[in-house]
Amino acid sequence: MREIKEAGRAPRLSPAAGKFLEGIRILDLTYYLPGPHAAWRLAEMGAAVTKVEPPGGEPGKTLGGGIVHQANNGGKNIIELDLKGDEGRTAIQQLIRDADVLIESFRPGTLDRLGFGERELDALNPGLIYCSMTGYGQEGSYARAGSHDLNYLALSGVLSQLLDANGRPVHPLNTIADFAGALAVSEAVCAALVRKMTTGEGARLDVSITDVLAGWQGVHLAYESAGLSDTGIPGIDGSLARYGIYETADGRHVVLAALEEKFWHAFCDHAGQAGWKGGDERRGGPVHREVGDYFRSRPHEHWLDVSLQTDFCLTPVLRPGELDRHPHWRGRNPQA
């Protein structure tokens, strides 16, 4: 057994997250991004997280130069164990006995083959909360298939809703599905912990990332079923001038989300264009084109200043490295 005291620190959650999970022990048997991020969130809320990796470390240590691993494992105690050897098996058995929660992200059946299936875990620790995090769940035609973030976005229907001006799916630059799955795991674990505290019972949790994303489709499906829209909530799909993404003079972008009349009218008054209030806002119509021209008349920095001085739902499109320079984020994290 090899122990690594702690991985690199990741950005912290909001101070409002508190340390409500102090005294809770999490055993993290996950790799890459979604599982480690889920366990990291629990660590940020005060849980003591022990991450078990194979000898030499988990695959995330080499992904992207190791940055993925550093960004999602801060605050954890990391040990390396060979789960196929006697020493490693003995060590993890004790970790399981001591844990409140075990999170794993292996393909279905992997822990069973290693001798740590649901029955064995229950014998070692009857009150254990055992959470499996997978791309497609424990059963189904894709259950044991290799998969990644882009696959989950595609199969869930989410990618079909991220389109460019020509209606083609856009390749996201962030792993939306992985982070959504991580949130769902931390949420499910916290819910199971609440029940355990009142009943003493453990739980078996099966979190499929694709299921989580498919659950986001309820509003779209409701509008389709009603025959009202195949793009979700009318008016927020980029079809109206008041709610969209606009280019600035220097090739950057801003977001206008003046959905309610009071915000739209305030924006029109600020622009000195009272005629926009009752004009044709539809995509490609005169108001839509004129609003686009209006935003292209000034650089990004100008609109950032406007967003801080007005109240009609205007925000600059920021890059990750710019967050700590924006007044909002400085106010949220004054020590940064």
- Could you list the active site residues? 148, 178
What are the start-end ranges of the H helices in the chain? 34-44, 67-72, 86-98, 110-113, 118-124, 149-156, 176-199, 209-214, 218-225, 261-271, 286-296, 300-309, 327-332
The residue whose two tokens read 């079909």 is 160
- Measured N-to-C along each axis, helices 149-156 and 176-199 cross at an angle, to the nearest 10 degrees, of 90
Q: What are phi and psi of 316, to 5 degrees?
A: -75, 150
Cα-atom radius of gyration of the chain, to the nearest Å?
Answer: 24
**Burial grade of 231 (CB within 10 A; 0-12, 13-18, 19 or more):** middle
CA atoms within 13 A on the CB side of 64: 9
* Contact indicator for 189, 165 with CB cutoff of 8 Å: no
Task: Spell 298-319 as b/e; 16+ CB within 10 A means b.
Answer: eebebbbebbeeeebbbebbbe
How many residues does the structure list for the chain? 336
Q: Angle at the Cα of 222 (from 220 to 226), degrees rounded to 5?
A: 120
| Amino acid letter, residue 164 | D
Q: What are phi and psi of 213, to 5 degrees?
A: -65, -40
- Measured N-to-C along each axis, helices 176-199 and 34-44 cross at an angle, to the nearest 10 degrees, of 50
